Amino acid sequence: MAQKRVVIAGMGFGGLRAAKELAGSGVELTLVDRHNYHLFQPLLYQVATAGLEQEAIAYPLRALTRKWDQATFVMAEIVSINLSGRTVVTDGGELPYDYLVIAAGSRTNFFGMESVQQNSFDLKSLAQAEVLRNHILIMFERASRERDSTIRSALLTFVIVGGGPTGVEFAGALRELIVYVLAKDYPSIATEETRIVLVEAADSLLTALPEKLRLYAAEKLRNMGVEIQLQAKVVGASSEAVEFSDGSRIASHTLLWSAGVAASKLAGTLTGVQFGSSGRVVVQPDLTLAEYPDVFVIGDMACCQHEGGALPMMAPVAIQQGVHAARAIKASLRGETLPAFRYFDKGAMATIGKSSAVATAKGFSFSGYLAWLAWLLLHLYYLIGFRNRAVVMMSWTYAYWFQDRQIRLITTNRRRSSQFQEKHIDQRVA
């Protein structure tokens, strides 16, 4: 009997976990991604705020596949998927499959606001994190020699839209970068001249967490010097200002958008499937497609119902779904069927600054130093590679004791418009 061919499209958290479970199980495993590395996205904001080097949060995929029997990695752009023909169409040719795991992830959702998309930064790739870091440092360089107070103020104003974990963590890290590092690098710029504005459309930050933790996070950020604007809706942006629905505007040259995500564009190429909110593909309880039981959709692309609503687009969901899809494929090869996928909520957490975080786990809520320590250990655990863990741990230890960050290099002198073009190159189909 010929070996079954399993193709995994996308090597994010879900795809990687599915590959690990299937490795060595007697199937011909093909892994496809447009990058040759697995990216630990939760720490991208630390690359953007000069806390970590890029290489510390990425791991070469070929270094993984060479350890797995009958596993092959293909670096290619997935153009479409022919479900009826059982082939994955890439820019380098077609890949036939017997089982397919689609784990192409998500992209930033700008909710149709083209001006925001063209004039904001987001954090979905290494390239975008580096561009944002360059931009922040360039703003300080320009401000240090700017005589016009109005222009100088706009250069030193940073607007972050989205009060979820990414927005909260980036706001705290940026404030610490300014207070502990850039204030010394640029003695002509007073810390009080800088302004960080965190904007959220809802009535609180971190809406998925209990109220006590939401209030703690908001108070901590305010004490650090971060302005918080709740129930505020951004409707447009230019390279020099952010516009709100009430007609107000904030003069700023830096807008980070973390207010929403949508399924990868690859989802839109699938035919004969049902779509849920944010362009996500509606899946069966076992994570397969209704008409194609040999095709699994997992992670941010999947609209999977749980306790009356769709599961959130988060790494823990993708990891558990990757495990389930792999085990379901192995069960199918044995002629067996697994029960429907069930998500186990292990909790959520977000770090705010040095020695400060919020976390929930198994019904318990905690904040402060203990939550911060748990956040550190959990992120170190999920990083891939001993070197990466060692480098990240050393960087965090150095920053903790010396309140300094060494990765503050400006690696480009191109104009901001060119940087945006580079950023959008990386927003192609996963």
C-alpha 171/C-alpha 226 separation (Å) is 7
Domain 5-34+76-108+262-333 has CATH 1.10.10.10: no
* Number of alpha carbons in the 13 Å side-chain half-sphere of residue 259: 26
- The neighbour count for residue 364, using CB atoms within 10 Å, is 8
Confidence of residue 413 (pLDDT cuts 50, 70, 90): low
Residues identified as active-site: 169
Average pLDDT over residues 350-357: 95
Q: What is the mean pLDDT of residues 85-114?
A: 96
pLDDT at position 389: 96
Domain covering 114-259+347-425: architecture = 3-Layer(bba) Sandwich (3.50)
Q: Rounded mean pLDDT of 156-176? A: 97
Instruction: Report d(CA 20, CA 327) in Å as an integer.
Output: 11
Q: What pLDDT is stored for residue 411 in this prediction? A: 87
User: What's the whole-number average pLDDT of the chain?
Assistant: 93
Distant-in-sequence, close-in-space partners of 123: CB < 8 Å, separation ≥ 6: 41, 44, 45, 48, 129, 132, 166, 170, 256, 258
pTM of the model: 0.93
Matching CATH topology for 5-34+76-108+262-333 and 114-259+347-425? yes
Q: Where are the domains of the chain?
A: 5-34+76-108+262-333, 114-259+347-425
Question: pLDDT above 70 covers what percent of the chain?
Answer: 96
Q: Is the pLDDT of residue 420 over 90?
A: no
pLDDT at position 160 over 60: yes
Integer Cα distance of 174 and 129 in angstroms? 13
Residue 415, pLDDT above cutoff 60 = no
Q: What is the pLDDT of residue 418?
A: 45
Query: Could you report the per-residue pLDDT of 289-312, keeping only the tens digit for each?
Result: 999 999 999 999 999 988 778 999
**Nearest Cα to Cα of residue 118 among 236, 265, 262, 246:** 236
